[in-house]
Amino acid sequence: MYRTLVSATLGTAALLTAVPAASAATPPASAASAASGPAATAAAASVDAATRSQVVAPVSGAAVYASYARGYTVTRYGGRPAVLGKPGESSQFAASPDGRKVAWITSGGRLQVREGGKTRTVARGLQGSTPCLSPVWSPDSRRVAYVGAGQSEALPVRVVGADGTGARVLGKTRGVCHLAWSPDGRYLAGYAGTTEGVYRLDARTGKSAKLKGITLANHVQSLSPGGRYVVVHTLRPTDPGGDGVWPTAFTPSLVDTVTGRRVPIQVKGRQLGAFHLPDGRLVVRVAGRSANTLVVLDRKGHQVQRLTEPAAAKSQALLRPLR
């Protein structure tokens, strides 16, 4: 579909704009100039509409990060930096996809949501002081999912509205650590507390299954729309399992959960993580000398955009890029 790439610069963001190749749907210039009248006008309008539908808005470069200095602070960068919340010593936190809210679990087991300078408790009786049991926001930023209490290997995943209403159980799973929610809302995935594999929970049916191709893992960062591809940090048998805290950086593996095969991430440099966007693009974080870079890949794995992160965020954990 696309034959050439045109490079442009937007501030610190280098944008590669796809230019549609000529096709049967796009008449040659000579034919277009020869045609005239209402039919030609309608055809031209149809072509313009088709071209516009292929254009994907560039990623803004705004993102949410977490830093630690006598407690955790969650900050949104993009324009003027804005502190979204201070979970303190709790490492069980998550930023909402809209970049406006933060949820965290206190040591006393309360799930708290902070938005607009106000903090409310939306659930109680959670397992606090367990770093890997982090909550996760729904794609529409209206609900928070978290792991409920239990004695079995498979624990309940519950969801509650950001206002504390509508609490219910989505299902049970062994993949309770570092939950990720697919952008279409269908699936949640997490790794087992023993690090022995990653499990995907179907929020529609409540059923959970172990994913192919992942023997050991200690971080799940992202699920693709539809839940087929997952970004994880895989482990070798001799690697330590870690302490369950959200990593500042890691080498991401992109796994096809249907085939169990790893999909190469074709980005040069030392990769520090990767996130799926709702439209299927993949944002890869790459280490830099004075600042890191966010590299955006299209659904076919082609690079379409590069954005320089704020220097202040270089040593911070990237919680999520914002559109």
Q: pLDDT tens digits for 74-129?
A: 999 999 999 999 999 999 999 999 999 999 999 999 999 999 999 999 999 999 99
Q: What is the C-alpha to C-alpha distance for residues 114 and 170, in angstroms, rounded to an integer?
A: 23
> In this structure, is residue 78 part of a structural domain?
yes
Residue 44 has pLDDT above 50, yes or no: no
Cα–Cα distance, 239 to 241 (Å, whole number): 6
Domain count, the chain: 1
Q: If you average pLDDT over every residue of the chain, what do you get?
A: 88
**Inside any domain, residue 50:** no
Digit-coded pLDDT (tens) for 51-87:
344 568 999 999 999 999 999 999 999 999 999 999 9
Q: Reply yes or no on whether the pLDDT at 9 is more than 70.
A: no
Percent of the chain at pLDDT above 90? 81
Contact (CB, 8 A) for 47 and 25: yes
Separation CA 236–CA 188 (nearest Å): 24
Mean pLDDT value of segment 299-303:
96
* Residue whose tokens read 């995907």: 200
140 belongs to a structural domain: yes
Question: What domain range is 223 assigned to?
Answer: 66-271
> Is the separation of the CB atoms in 302 and 311 below 8 Å?
no
What distance in Å separates the CA atoms of residue 152 and residue 25, rounded to the nearest whole number?
Answer: 58
The answer to whether position 43 is within a domain reads no
List phi, psi (to 5°) of 190. Answer: -155, 165
pLDDT in the model for residue 234: 98
Residue 298: pLDDT above 50? yes
Whether residue 285 contacts residue 318, with contact meaning beta carbons closer than 8 Å, is answered with yes
Query: For residue 37, what pLDDT is reported?
Result: 52
Separation of alpha carbons 219 and 250, rounded Å:
9
User: Can you read off the two tokens belonging to residue 65?
Assistant: 């990060």
Q: Which amino acid, one-letter code, is at 283?
A: V
User: Residues 279, 284, 285, 290: is their CA dihedral positive or negative?
Assistant: negative
Residue 16 has pLDDT above 90, yes or no: no
Of 186 and 55, which is predicted with more confidence?
186
Of 17-31, 140-154, 159-173, 249-263, where does mean pLDDT reach its minimum? 17-31
Q: Is residue 110 situated within a structural domain?
A: yes
Give residue 17's pLDDT. 37
Task: Extract long-range pairs of 103-110: CB within 8 Å, 24+ residues apart.
Answer: 103/135, 103/137, 103/144, 103/162, 104/135, 105/133, 105/134, 105/135, 105/146
Query: What CA–CA distances, in Å, run from 211 to 22, 23, 229, 275?
Result: 41, 40, 10, 18
**Residue 313 DSSP code:** G
The CA distance from 285 to 267, in Å, is 9
**Bridge partners of residue 2, in order along the sequence:** 20
Tell whether 258 is covered by a domain: yes
Q: Given a cut of 50, is residue 18 above it in pLDDT?
A: no
Query: In this model, does residue 229 exceed pLDDT 80?
Result: yes
pLDDT class of 210 with cuts at 50, 70, 90: very high
Residue 99 near residue 91, CB atoms below 8 Å? no
Contact (Cβ atoms closer than 8 angstroms) between residue 155 and residue 110: no
Asked if 316 and 74 count as a contact pair (C-beta separation under 8 A), the reply is no
76 in a domain, yes or no? yes
**8 Å CB contact between 285 and 130:** no
Confidence of residue 3 (pLDDT cuts 50, 70, 90): very low
4 has pLDDT over 90 = no
Q: What is the pLDDT of residue 29?
A: 40
DSSP 214-254: -SSEEEEEEE-TTS-EEEEEE--TTS----SPPPS----EE
Q: Which of 16-20, 148-152, 198-202, 318-322 has the lowest mean pLDDT?
A: 16-20
In this structure, what CATH number is given to the domain that contains residue 77?
2.120.10.30
Helix/strand/coil for 51:
helix
First to last CA, the chain: 24
Asked if residue 223 belongs to a domain, the reply is yes
- What is residue 151's predicted lDDT score, i.e. its pLDDT? 86
Mean pLDDT, residues 169-187: 98
